[in-house]
Amino acid sequence: MKLNEVFYQTIRDLIAKAQHQVKVAVNFTMVDLYWSIGKRIVEEEQAGESRAEYGKALLKQLAKQLTDEFGRGFDPSNLRYMRLFFQKFPIRDAVRHELSWTQYRILCKVGNEKARVWYMNESAENGWSTRALERQIEVLYYERLLSSQFDEGIRKEGLDKVSALPPSPLDFIRDPYVLDFMQLSENKKLYEEDLEQGLLDNIQQFLLELGKGFAFVARQQLIRAEDEEFRIDLVFYNYLLKCFVLIDLKIGKLTHKDIGQMDMYVRMYEDLKRQEGDNPTLGIVLCSEKNEAVVKYSVLKDSQQLFASKYLMYLPTEEELRAEIEKDREILERTKRLK
C-alpha cells in the first residue's frame, strides 16, 4: 500500500514542527538556567570572602558536586562562563533566548557593552549561526557600521535612538568590506571576473557581509539605451531601503572613470528598471584601493546615491582594521568640516 503523499507530508510537518518547538524550549530553558546559575554564583561570591582564591575554590567544589550528580556541562570553565554571562547581561528580560549557549559564550568576550548588545540582537533577528556571529565580531562589523554612518545628525541622536530613525543608505553601506571567505591564495593574480565569480560562489557569506535586507537579483545584468548596451556586475535589492543596489567591481585604484560609469548606470537604472514604490537606486564601486582625491572632487562628494568602498581580501589584525576604520572616520570628519 502506498501512502497518500499529502497525508504523509502533513504528518511529517507536524513532527518537524514539534521537534523544532522542543529544540526552542530546551534552548530557552538552558540559557535561562545558566543565567540563573551565574547570578547565584555572583551573589555567593559577594556574600563570601572577596579574595580571588575563594572564588576559585567555590567554583572548583561546585563543579565537582554538580558533575558527580548531573554529569557533563558543569566543569569550572563552563561555570566561569555562567558567572560572566550574568555579569555581561545582568538584565534577565534583555537576554534573547533565540541564541544558543555557545553564542553567548562568544558574546561574553566582546568588551564593548553596546557592541555586545548589538551583536546579540542582530544575531537573534537575522538568525546568524555561531560561525557567522564569530566572524562578524572578528571583522569588527559593529565598528565598521558606526564608521560608515558617521553622520553629524545621527551622532547627535545617539546610539540608543539610531534604530528609531528612518532607514538611511549610510546605515547599510560598509567601508571596508572584508571578503576573506573567498580564501584566495595570496600570490594569485586577481581579475574582476575572478572576484565576481568568487562572490557568487560564496553568495551566502557575501550577503552576510553586505548586511541587513539584501537579496541577490542578477549578475552581468544587461541594460539597453537606444543602440547602446551595458552590463552591471552585480545587482541586489534591499527590502529595508526598498531600492535596487548596483555593485561595480574594480581591481586597483578608484578613478574618475569608475565613478562616472557608476553614475551613468544608476541614472539608466532609475529610468529603465525602477518601479513605482521603489526608492532611488544606489550604486557602489567596490575597489581594492580608494583614492581620496577622487572621493573629494568627484560627484561622490555630494551624491546621496553613489558610494565607493574598499574591499579587503584577507582578514586583517584587529589593530589594522581599527586603523583602517579610523582613517575613513578622519576623512569623513574632514569632509564635514569643509562643508
- Whether residue 120 lies inside any domain: the answer is no
Question: Can you give the pLDDT at residue 90?
Answer: 92
End-to-end CA distance of the chain: 78
Residue 216 has pLDDT above 90, yes or no: yes
- Whether residue 223 lies inside any domain: the answer is yes
- Confidence band, pLDDT 50/70/90 cuts, at residue 161: very low
Question: Can you give the pLDDT at residue 163?
Answer: 46
- Whether residue 21 lies inside any domain: the answer is yes
- Whether residue 33 lies inside any domain: the answer is yes
SS3 74: coil
Q: 168 is written with which cell numbers?
A: 538611511
> Are 213 and 329 members of one domain?
yes
- Confidence band, pLDDT 50/70/90 cuts, at residue 159: very low
Which among 65, 95, 125 is the end of a domain?
A: 95
Question: Can you give the pLDDT at residue 151?
Answer: 46
- Confidence band, pLDDT 50/70/90 cuts, at residue 215: very high
Question: Can you give the pLDDT at residue 149?
Answer: 57
> Are 16 and 160 members of one domain?
no
User: Which residues touch 248 (CB under 8 Å, ≥6 apart)?
Assistant: 232, 233, 258, 261, 262, 265, 283, 284, 285, 286
Residue 50 has pLDDT above 50, yes or no: yes
Question: Can you give the pLDDT at residue 10?
Answer: 87
> Are 154 and 261 members of one domain?
yes
Between 176 and 219, name the one with better pLDDT: 219
d(C-alpha 322, C-alpha 325), whole Å: 5
* Residue 132 burial (10 A CB sphere; 0-12, 13-18, 19+): middle
> Are 222 and 326 members of one domain?
yes
Helix (H) or strand (E) holding 244: strand 243-253
Question: Can you give the pLDDT at residue 154?
Answer: 42
Q: 302 is written with which cell numbers?
A: 555630494
Say which amino acid occupies 2: K
> Are 62 and 149 members of one domain?
no
Most confident residue range from 55-64, 143-152, 157-166, 188-197: 55-64
> Residues 85-107: pLDDT tens digits?
999 999 988 899 889 999 999 99
Residue 162 has pLDDT above 60, yes or no: no
Say which amino acid occupies 289: E
CATH number at residue 260: 3.40.1350.10
- Whether residue 125 lies inside any domain: the answer is no
> Are 191 and 323 members of one domain?
yes
**What string of DSSP letters covers 91-120?**
-GGG--TTS-HHHHHHHTT---HHHHHHHH
Question: Can you give the pLDDT at residue 52?
Answer: 60
Which among 95, 120, 135 is the end of a domain?
A: 95
> Residues 183-208: pLDDT tens digits?
765 555 678 888 898 899 999 989 98
> Which residue matches cell numbers 540563573?
36
Q: 76 is written with which cell numbers?
A: 569550572
Would you say 315 and 138 are in contact if contact means Cβ atoms under 8 Å apart?
A: yes
Would you say 255 and 295 are in contact if contact means Cβ atoms under 8 Å apart?
A: no
- Whether residue 27 lies inside any domain: the answer is yes
Helix (H) or strand (E) holding 282: strand 282-289
Residue 155 has pLDDT above 90, yes or no: no
d(C-alpha 48, C-alpha 37), whole Å: 16
> Are 211 and 309 members of one domain?
yes
> Are 186 and 265 members of one domain?
yes
The CB density around residue 331, as the number of other CB atoms within 10 Å, is: 16
> Which residue matches cell numbers 568588551?
111
Report how many domains make up the chain.
2
d(C-alpha 77, C-alpha 92), whole Å: 22
> Are 148 and 33 members of one domain?
no
> Residues 249-268: pLDDT tens digits?
998 888 888 898 999 999 99
Q: 98 is written with which cell numbers?
A: 533565540
> Are 162 and 227 members of one domain?
yes
Which among 75, 95, 115 is the end of a domain?
A: 95
Quote the domain boundaries for residue 79: 5-95
- Whether residue 106 lies inside any domain: the answer is no
- pTM for the structure as a whole: 0.68
Question: Can you give the pLDDT at residue 152?
Answer: 42
> Are 325 and 207 members of one domain?
yes
Least confident window among 152-166, 191-205, 207-221, 317-331: 152-166
Question: Can you give the pLDDT at residue 44?
Answer: 87
The whole-chain average pLDDT of the chain stands at: 83
> Are 229 and 85 members of one domain?
no
d(C-alpha 153, C-alpha 251), whole Å: 34
- Whether residue 36 lies inside any domain: the answer is yes
